[in-house]
Structure 1
Amino acid sequence: MNTITSKPKRWRTAFWKASLGVFAFLSCNEEFPNRLSFDQEYQDPGVQETQYKVAYVVLEGGVGTIVAGQATDYGMMPTLGDLYLRSVTSWNSVSTANKDELTAYADLLTGVEYPKHQVVSQGDPVNLENFPTLFSRVKQQSNARTAFITANRTLAPLVSETDLDQYQVLTDDQQVTANAVDELARDDVAVVVATYKEVDDIGLSQGYTSEAYLQALNRFDGQLNELVSTIRARENYISERWLIVVASSTGGRYTLRPELDDGSIFAETERNNFVVIHNPQFVFRLVERLQTNDPAWMSSAVRYTGNQGKATIAAENASIYNIEKNKEYTIQMKVKVHSYGNADQTIFSKRSNTAGSQEGWAFMLVPDPNEGTIDGKPSRGLVRFKVAGVGDAEAIADVELETWYSFIVRVYIQGGKQYATIFRDGVEYKTSEITGAQGVSNDPLQLGYAPGYAQALPSQSHSIADIRIYNVAQTVDHVKQAYCSTMATPGSDPYYDNLIGYWPGDDNGTELRDRTANNRHFVLEGNYAWNDFSERAATLCPTLPDNPEHFVLRTVDVPRMIYSWMNFKGIEQFNLDGQIWNPNFVSNQ
């Protein structure tokens, strides 16, 4: 099994830590924009479509990890550093595999990769009719003003003047800045793309780690400051919705120190670009790279609190998750308990109420006050799997606070009877016969609070991630060996095709997305919060995904984000390769 790691970036100066804390405090007083999820079509009736605006700044040859150091560690790119604190960002993004500049530009302007757009500098066939640039898409959907301002004369095969209101090919970056400032100051501005080439020119001639290259990054940041200052000085800036994207087209070739070269795709410096997507009301979100040594599980999870927070799949879409007679299943999830209540608490269920005789099944947290308390609340307990009409299967070992555990229930047929066995971290605990169980219900599938023995537990809190339901009983040996995996992929999970529901639970939006073809998504409601984490433990063995570059924000994702920001309809019909990276928004509520 391959493993991954990811370490949170450690800033070298107290200044940036303090800045982030100040931002988190001040941003609570900002106006909440009511846009909750980029992966849903959205229309705020209080905001006109023309108020959604985009500035897309492309830095050629900006090596992501080097730019990160200058922007966050050393303060030599203060403008980018400021945008970063209110953004969704990846410094370890990965550009096009063929390392071709025109291909990289096609990715970041069309939202699809080479197999679809077929753009390379050598003049291979170009498929922009089926996969046009964002300028063409904008013109198809609205009358919004678009501008493309560049000093790169090699982009002519990619950008058509007929798709733009303003198309300028200039001599140098200084002219790009001056003309972009003029465009950004216009009342009718909507989408401005400006590209910068001096940094890459100096990297090619003097090296991407040279002092001249670092000085060029600092000059670019000054030019970026002129653009950002122009936007913020607009008369109606407060009522406008600006999305500012700063990204590099590619990285640059240089030799990594041996201790940094792990042989992965992230060690290819020519492909190490970056993406920063900023709005003043975004909560800081850093999407880190996947590492290949020093194993860690880096993800996000919802924290459910009290008797309100929950995630639900409506009953009409949840029937496939019943436990039917004479059928086999494997149900698993990872749970971290932050605080126990003083009674049994349902945490994952297809059962309307665990206190009565209602049909269905449920996982429950059961506190044990005899094992000690913290602030008057139990510090340990167990997880129980309960099917209506029969006894419980229980993981009777201690379930301590602030520790991720993997709980797996194996439902199997043996000798004409149906059984359920619960495992904690690969250890087999109680087995119960459930032949006479009533595991079929007309209830929703639900994570978090559900009615039961506990009707009000305001202090109870737990996180859930990596939820999977299979329509097969995995072998006991497989359960004991693979319980620690944190991701299901076709290459790592021999039962992948048996998944009928798979929710990594790392979406950072208002839904938990089902990664199977069933597309049964949990909808979040009530008292919940997203938390990013990086965990290492003997009971966690993160699995390297098949395409690790898809787990960082990339330039091919940017057009998809722009279309959502501008409230485009029918985006799924564009057949884009880009993904959605939902930010959280600050709120004064």
Structure 2
Amino acid sequence: MKRLFNIKKTLVFVLGAMSLLAGCTKYANPPATYEDYEQNLQLPVKRKVLFISIDGLVGQELKKSVPSNIAELLKTSKYTFESIAGDKTNDASTWMSMMSGVPYDLHHIEDDSYIPRPDENDPHANPVGYPSMLYRLATVAPTQKSYVVARDVAINTKLLTSAEQTYDASSDADVKKNVVDLLEKKNPDLAIVQFKDVLNAGLEKGFSISIPEYAAAIQKVDGYLGEILSALKARKNYATEDWLIIVTSNHGGTGKVYGGNSLAERNTFSIFQNPKFKALELKSDIIKSMRFFGFYDAGQSNYANYNSNAFRARNNPVLSQESIYDVGKTGELTVDAKVKMNPTNGVFDYSSNAPFLGKNQSRTGSTPGWAFFKSGNALTFFVADGSTNMQPGMGPVSSAGEWCHIAAVVSKVNNVPTVKVYVNGIKTGEASSASFNMNNAVSSTGLTFGYFPYIFSGLPVDMQICDVHIYNKAMSEEMIKKNAERIGIPDTEISNSNLIGYWPMDQLVDNKFVNKISGNPDIAAQGTSRLLLMGNNLPYVDPGTILIQSEDMFTQIFYWLEVKTQREWGLTGQVFLNKYEVEFLLPKQ
């Protein structure tokens, strides 16, 4: 959309009409007149981005004491102190996520070589490469000029080599000097800046605002930020430039360390500032879950190594105590969970008849047991007694990668075996069979979370699961709705005698998913399940709630520069500023 810069009160010289001669008649020339009136002359306004990373600045620590220049930015910013880095928080990994628009699971960058880690299962294969945003920018918008000022030499020489010019800075003071000089003498469309003294103070003394050296480092860099902002506003063309200023950190820290996946090490802050923005603190609702995928690696785009040893799921061994989750043992059963489907090759409907949560030896025909399974973008619940099955469809579920709550209730209604299924607390399907024998719905297979390695047709399912509950009774629709609108359950409800299994799915202990119901079995995990932290977008969550992550920087910058990203790039970052366009886009002239 075109934005215009208006110039008014232009003085226009208007001449009177020339006299016309007709025969010998003469007409006197009227005196010249001058008219002062308003007119809009259209001058283009150029969008630009200044991206600044204050490495190692923990979001929650900054919130405790916001220094003056950052506080001034917040007055016209969309901002959060609750953004997060990926679960591998070393410097190269986090910078690669910010600059490539994908998480570590995909880019596999671990050190300053910026060479992807080889696939441990296929070490001779060429790893998938994810170029930096500057490479993408130079490819699709070569007229856009980018500059980099960084403390880490590898950022300039390995990661961001496509910049118009890079500057190696020896100190944060040197960073500031180079950025001020750049803004005075060059004409960047995108400038990327790295400060490191806050990180160094955290490593030496601790990542806490209560530690004087860490607090002093924050104040120092805030002063440098003020000088940079002054230089930006002093640019001769500033009036016709529309700057988005992003200030963030690559990762946090805890104690005197970083690099792990604790929340403190992942906690960052993110500020998106423009003079037209209305101030808004973005709140996040984080959901923890386990990711299961039926192939070796989350970034694998084909199934060359497709075999049961790779699957992130569990089928054997079976514990005898797990028989309490058989319909034939309980007579009634309610199962509910939160699920999120992930795309493979950009689509969500790749799997066919792939179970992911259940207790069933072979989800074919009428093999005894039960399971939720995915077919295309829809889900179905299956329960069988050996000769009869019931399979009510649930319709499309998480067909765009959103979080959803699913539930199934098996019981007798008017003495007829019946299954009811729910999505986000609303009933979406029902099936019944008078010939179904509840007593025979017993499986020798263990309870399985994730992919079923021996029960499938078509491709496996890539997904996340959390907050799993199993009751030995048919729970009311009111209770199902209640579980759909919250994460976890209070301790008072854990004591409910009908609740026989509760797995938050937020950790693995000794390679088992811990059951919060004391005395009831933990469930073993096959392979390596991966813990993920994500934004919760279940329907009950305020739609204004958003979790900003490292990979969102790429997509946000391209959005502001009005450069289209390409689907084949495989970016995972989101764009959120488009929700507020009414604040910063002028009506089309």
TM-score, with structure 2 as normaliser? 0.47
Which one scores higher on RCO, CA 8 angstroms, separation ≥ 6?
1
Larger radius of gyration: 2
TM-score where L is the length of structure 1 = 0.47
